[in-house]
A = this chain, B = another copy of it.
Amino acid sequence: MNLDVSLPARNHARRLQEAGLRPTRQRVRICEQLFNGIDRHFTAEELFNELNHSAQGESLSLATIYNTLKGFTEAGLLSTLTVDSGKLYYDTNTSHHYHVYDASGRCLADLDTTSMKVQGLPDLPEGHEIDRIDIIVRTKPKA
């Protein structure tokens, strides 16, 4: 049973190897959960809960999730984002883009960067150039 997962698993293994990471069981498992074609935002703990509440497969320790996500980020498979202090969000979308955050629902989504532009940027300090610009559009329910 479940022979149909073998091909995706092989893709994940390749993805990991191309990123310079050894395709261990845990890393492949995390890839399966994350890279299914739909971009998503999540915290380490959310991923931990998903993996451990799903019936299939063994559980991963929270420390391993943290370490693996950190490794994925350093390898360029994920990007990170801080909306408010004290919690780090991971993002499967690694291209440059902006975010919308709805504080009341604690929900985070991508904004398409291509249509957006920042005008009137002041001069930067001597000897510095722009690395990147982070934008978070914070929304609230309409009055």
Q: Which residues of A are interface residues toward B (Cβ below 8 A)?
A: 80, 82-88, 100, 102-103, 109, 111-112, 115-122, 124-125, 127-143
CB pair A130 B137 closer than 8 Å: yes
Complex Cα spacing A112 to B121, Å: 9
Instruction: Write 15 A-B pairs (CB below 8 A) sorted by A numbering.
Output: A80-B85, A82-B83, A85-B85, A109-B125, A116-B121, A116-B122, A128-B139, A128-B140, A129-B139, A129-B140, A130-B139, A131-B140, A133-B135, A133-B136, A134-B138
Q: Which residues of chain B are within 8 angstroms of A86 by Cβ–Cβ distance?
A: 85-86, 88
CB pair B125 A120 closer than 8 Å: no
Q: Which residues of chain B are within 8 angstroms of A80 by Cβ–Cβ distance?
A: 85
